[in-house]
């Protein structure tokens, strides 16, 4: 089952909801209906509290979406491709396919998020203070005030100078401008993100342990997310530094061992694991020598033993339509996104339709482990970058 629910396009950007959005909606609704609203305005029915709390939670999600849409729109105006936006438990994620081309573009893309949240907070504050609200229920005014405060808090938190928050991208833009080294700037912003994450984790657990306050689990969870996201961002920067400008042909394994599609599984198994078939996946060739698919040991194992003598490789292989393919001169950084989401975790390298190599995650790992790195050139493009907000 797909873990996201597509909502269509807004301003030309694909928007979807992750199932975990239900968690944040539930948490916000329960907190408002059972604590915040009754404490501020007594005497209302439980139904009123719950309905208004649910409405406030939905409007809060809309403000998160506005925050991410602002990133996406400004990114596209600065030449950065946007794959889409996903709302999830800890906020929103704008998936940027490539990085900003200049420090100035990075600054504009990052700054617009907190500014949008700050503007939303100001709008809600203006609504709460408007003359027409004087005749509204105090409970409704309380909900609008809460929306104002939460958006201002969101703006302030995201402005903290720590990756992957917007403030971390502002810090990276500044350091990139000062040093001219994007990789060095990314490392510094990621280190700040991990530092902030550990602070939130430790302080959250301290609140639970010493203060007996279970609400400390929330900042601890956000801090743990920041640590992971900052570490991932640093790893992506290393990938760009090592693989930038490197073509697929330099990383792939050339001339891989292939299997004919007419071979039976029994014949295939008889020649391994010490014969020619000693790997776990093999390109499958048709009679005319063209690539037909990919055979994995897992698919062979899924075939009943009694049927292997009469079942051919072509019947159980993963078809060509499900396999990632690449050209030898394609930049590695263009291939990585497709490779990482591929179920087979492999790419077939084709030159004019002819199989010339295979590229696996292990090949990429070997390239990254080489002390001097394959190349020191600047990347033509970058792996997808996910900008997430807590």
Crossing angle (nearest 10°) for helices 138-158 and 103-129: 160
Residue 322 per-residue DSSP state: G
Tell me the C-alpha distance between 205 and 81, whole Å: 39
Instruction: Please tell me what DSSP assigns to residue 165.
Output: S
The H or E element that residue 350 is part of is strand 346-351
How far, in Å, CA of 100 to CA of 228, rounded?
Answer: 22
C-alpha distances in angstroms, 185 versus 73, 176, 189, 340?
Answer: 24, 5, 6, 25
Helix (H, G, I), strand (E, B) or coil at 16: strand
Question: Alpha helices of the chain — where are they, by DSSP H?
Answer: 21-31, 37-40, 46-77, 103-129, 138-158, 166-179, 182-211, 217-243, 265-270, 297-301, 313-316, 332-341, 361-369
What SS3 state is found at 82? strand
* Length of the chain as a residue count: 390
Give me the catalytic one of 36, 68, 99, 106.
68
Distances from the Cα of 8 to the Cα of 15, 69, 86, 260, 345, angstroms: 6, 13, 11, 43, 29
Is there a contact between 295 and 284 (Cβ–Cβ < 8 Å)? yes
Phi, psi of 187 (to 5 degrees): -60, -45
CA separation for the pair 33, 44 (Å, rounded) = 11
- Report the distance separating Cα 371 and Cα 235, nearest Å: 16
Based on the residue annotation, tell me whether 68 is a catalytic residue of this protein: yes
Tokens 């008889």 locate to 270
Query: What is the set of active-site residues?
Result: 68
């Amino acid at each position: 089952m797909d873990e996201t629910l597509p909502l269509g396009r807004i301003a030309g950007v694909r928007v979807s909801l992750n199932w975990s959005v239900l968690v944040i909606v539930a948490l916000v609704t329960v907190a408002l209906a059972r604590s915040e609203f009754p404490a501020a305005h007594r005497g209302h029915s439980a139904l009123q509290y719950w309905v208004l709390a649910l409405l406030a939670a939905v409007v809060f999600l809309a403000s998160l979406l506005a925050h991410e849409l602002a990133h996406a729109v400004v990114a596209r105006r600065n030449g950065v491709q946007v794959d889409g936006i996903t709302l999830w438990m800890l906020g929103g994620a704008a998936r940027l396919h490539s990085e900003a081309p200049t420090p100035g573009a990075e600054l504009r893309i990052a700054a617009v998020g907190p500014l949008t949240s700050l503007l939303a907070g100001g709008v809600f504050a203006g609504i709460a203070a408007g003359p027409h609200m004087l005749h509204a229920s105090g409970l409704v005014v309380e909900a609008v005030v809460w929306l104002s405060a939460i958006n201002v808090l969101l703006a302030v938190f995201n402005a903290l100078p720590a990756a992957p928050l917007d403030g971390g991208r502002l810090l990276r833009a500044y350091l990139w401008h000062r040093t001219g080294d994007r990789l060095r700037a990314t490392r510094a912003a990621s280190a700040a993100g991990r530092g902030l994450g550990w602070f939130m984790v430790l302080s959250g657990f301290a609140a639970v342990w010493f203060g007996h306050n279970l609400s400390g689990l929330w900042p601890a969870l956000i801090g743990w997310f920041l640590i992971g996201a900052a570490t991932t961002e640093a790893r992506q920067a290393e990938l760009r530094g090592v693989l930038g400008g490197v073509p697929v042909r330099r990383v792939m394994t050339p001339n891989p061992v292939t299997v004919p599609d007419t071979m039976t599984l029994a014949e295939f198994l008889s020649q391994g694991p010490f014969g020619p078939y000693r790997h776990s996946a093999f390109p499958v060739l048709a009679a005319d020598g063209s690539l037909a698919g990919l055979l994995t040991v897992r698919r062979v194992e899924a075939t009943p033993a009694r049927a292997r003598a009469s079942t051919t490789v072509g019947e159980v292989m993963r078809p060509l339509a499900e396999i990632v393919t690449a050209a030898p001169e394609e930049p590695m950084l263009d291939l990585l996104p497709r490779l990482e989401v591929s179920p087979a975790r492999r790419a077939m390298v084709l030159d004019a339709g002819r199989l010339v190599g295979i590229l696996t995650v292990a090949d990429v790992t070997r390239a990254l482990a080489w002390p001097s790195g394959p190349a020191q050139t600047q990347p033509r493009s970058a792996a997808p970058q996910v900008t997430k907000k807590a």
